[in-house]
Structure 1
Amino acid sequence: MEPKIAEIAERIRALREMLGLSYEEMAESTEVSIDDYVASESGSRDFTFTFLYKCAEKFGVDIIEIMTGENPHLSGYTVVRGGNGLSIKRRAGFEYNHLAAHFKNKLAEPFLVKAPYREEEQNKPISMSMHEGQEFDYILSGSLKFVHEGHVEELNEGDSVFYDSGKKHGMIATSKGGCVFLAVVIKEKEDENR
């Protein structure tokens, strides 16, 4: 099952309006221009994972609620059989399978990610993003060029990287068959004094 752009856009609009947030506030929270935010909320452009993640943080909901309209309901454990998970095709052909979509109150968001190889990306600057928290990526097959705050690493099968995802980072597959990796996005710890 892959969530539809128009349905996600409608849920984002409804949550924004329900919480009384302006376009300007949401654009600032998602770190995009007001025009880009409005285009995303209208469903006329696709979403990045980072955009959806930042919307969920601002709204105080699980990212799965934005993507599917359902609240995760499992609390003891959840099992995802091989090849399954909530499929998300976002960010220029990257395919994400959320591996804990039905588990509520997650401290982390685990994904199986398939990054496509694109010849035209190999000698261009890598697109960067950032989201609060930390991330752990473990390469299952293929190779990945990883950039973090100007540092470049070539990661191969069996390699891993753990990083502050609140700083600019990006990645592209460098092996002809693409790259498959496990990504665990760890949420920023709530400040108990807020």
Structure 2
Amino acid sequence: MIEGIGKKIKELRISRNLTLKDLSVKTDLSIGFLSQLERGLTTIAVDTLYTIAEVLGVELSYFLSSPKQNKKLVLRSYEKEVFQIYSNQFIYYNLTNDIEDKVFLPRYIEILPSNNEEDITPYNHEGEEFVYVMEGILTLVVNNEKYELYPGDSAHYDSSIVHNWANRTNKTVKLITVHTPNMFRK
């Protein structure tokens, strides 16, 4: 597994036009350690790998996911794994076994209740999004307009428009999303 992590670090570093010295300066890790890591000759602590992931602009899970040799067409409900937890509130599951070879990214997301009453901070990015609420009430902000989406409701919008979602209730919101472009595509 460590060889795979090192290989991914090297590929990302090179694709971002960083030298080992550049990465060393940005992560506060020695060039020798990074070189050994890229060659699979040493192990790495998760918190140190997290620092490298931040500098290279990827999620920690990017390094920990193992490539599946025979990618199955069907993903059974019991095979779904937590892909990412964001801000201790958003739990992401991918709905495909073939995340790197597809144009769009389907996900199942659970948004835990939030006590934070501050306004939602909208952001934008390339692509488009489709959201389908399965359970709970989702607060969706698109172009500074707030919408409450209930189970069975959906929204489809251009991601270049400022947007965000939140759970302003005391129950978990469950939704399915489809995003383009797929940020994990090779």
Query: Does the alignment reach a TM-score above 0.5?
Result: yes
Mark the structure with the bigger radius of gyration: 2
Q: Which structure 1 segments of 5+ residues have no match?
A: 1-6, 24-36, 54-63, 189-194
Shift of 1:83: 4.4
Q: What corresponds to 1:155 in structure 2? A: 149
For 1:19, the aligned partner's letter is S
Looking at structure 1, the residues matched to 147 and 159 of structure 2 have their Cα atoms a distance apart, in angstroms, of 15
22 and 82 in structure 1: CA distance in 2 versus 1, 3 angstrom threshold? same
Q: What corresponds to 2:40 in structure 1? A: none
Shift of 1:38: 5.7
2:173 is aligned with 1:175: no
SS in 1 for 2:10: helix
Q: What corresponds to 1:79 in structure 2? A: 74
Q: Which structure 2 segments of 5+ residues have no match?
A: 20-25, 29-46
73 and 132 in structure 1: CA distance in 2 versus 1, 3 angstrom threshold? farther
Number of equivalenced pairs:
154
Shift of 1:87: 1.4
Matches within 5 A, 1:55-70: 68-70=65-67
2:140–2:163 CA contact under 8 A, matched in 1:
yes
For 2:75, the aligned partner's letter is V
Q: What corresponds to 2:132 in structure 1? A: 138
1:140–1:180 CA contact under 8 A, matched in 2:
yes
Cα RMSD for the two superposed structures = 3.7
Looking at structure 2, the residues matched to 116 and 8 of structure 1 have their Cα atoms a distance apart, in angstroms, of 33
105 and 73 in structure 1: CA distance in 2 versus 1, 3 angstrom threshold? farther
Q: What corresponds to 2:50 in structure 1? A: 43
